[in-house]
Amino acid sequence: MLKTWMAPLGETIDAIHIGTCLLDNCPYIDTIMKKVKAKAGVDVIEGSHPYKPVKVFGD
């Protein structure tokens, strides 16, 4: 879908970043990562930032 959305703009997708909050808090992350990597056709990078905040969802 991303490739289809970007095509009219003449843009391509180089990589997909999976957010740190998803990696650390989603009980389905293994399934999600497996499916994204299988279908993406581009690099899938785990984490969106080089830092990791101590608390993602407040106190």
Could you give the CA distance from residue 19 to residue 35 in angstroms, rounded to a whole number? 15
Q: Looking at residue 29, what is its pLDDT?
A: 93
Tally of domains in the chain: 1
User: What pLDDT does residue 49 have?
Assistant: 67
Query: Is residue 1 assigned to a domain?
Result: no
Tell me, yes or no, whether 36 lies in a domain. yes
Answer yes or no: pTM beyond 0.95.
no
**Structure-token pair, residue 7:** 């095509």
Q: Examine residue 39 and state whether it is found in any structural domain, yes or no.
A: yes
Instruction: Give the pLDDT confidence of 2-58 residue by residue, as tens digits.
Output: 778 888 988 888 888 898 888 888 999 999 999 999 988 889 988 876 666 667 666
58 lies in a domain?
Answer: yes
Residue 35 confidence (pLDDT):
92
DSSP tag of 22: H
Tokens standing for residue 23: 């990696």
Range of the domain at 26: 14-59
